[in-house]
Chain A
Amino acid sequence: MAPLSSLVPQFPQVGARMLAPLPLGPLSLLLGRAARGMATRHPGLFTRLGAHSEKRFLIDPTDLPFSFLVRPQAARPRIEAVGALVSPTWDCRIAGPLAALIGMVHGAYDGDALFFSRDIVIEGDTEAALALRNALDDAEIDLFEEAAESLGAPGRTAGRQLRPLARAASQFTGVALTRAEDLL
Chain B
Amino acid sequence: MNGPALELVCPAGTPAALRAAVDAGAHTVYCGFADETNARNFPGLNFSRDEMAAGAAYAHRAGSKLLVAINTFPRAGAEAIWHHAVADARAAGADAVILADLGLLAYAAEHQPGLRRHLSVQAAAANADAIMFYAETFGVKRVVLPRVLSVEEIAAINRDIDVETEVFVFGGLCVMAEGRCSLSSYATGRSPNMNGACSPASHVVYTEEQGELVSRLGNFTIHKVPKDAPAPYPTLCKGCFSAGGQTGHVFEDPISLDAAELIPRLAKAGVTALKIEGRQRSRAYVSAVVKSFRRATDAIAAGRPVPVSELAHLTEGQSSTLGAYRKAWR
Contact = CB atoms under 8 A, between A and B. Distances in A.
Interface of A: 1-5, 7, 47-50, 52, 104, 107-113, 115-118, 121-123, 126-135, 137-140, 180
Interface size class, chain B: 35 or more
B259 to A, nearest CB: 18
A134 B313 contact: no
Contacts of A3: 318
Contacts of B233: 112
Contacts of A111: 282
B208 A116 contact: no
A5 B313 contact: yes
B316 A107 contact: no
Nearest to A106: B284
A117 B317 CA distance: 8
Contact of B45 (A134, A140, A180): A134
Interface in B127-155: none
Interface in B218-238: 227-233
A110 B205 CA distance: 20
Interface of B: 13-17, 20, 42-45, 48, 200-202, 204-208, 213, 227-233, 255, 280-285, 287-288, 312-319
A127 B256 CA distance: 23
Contacts of B231: 115-118
A52 B45 CA distance: 13
A110 B319 CA distance: 16
A130 B208 contact: no
Contact of B230 (A116, A134, A135): A116
B282 A49 contact: no
Contacts of A110: 281-282, 284-285, 288, 314
Given A118-B229, A127-B201, A130-B42, 16 more contacts: A2-B312, A7-B313, A48-B14, A107-B287, A109-B284, A112-B280, A112-B282, A112-B285, A116-B230, A117-B231, A117-B313, A126-B205, A129-B201, A134-B45, A137-B282, A138-B44
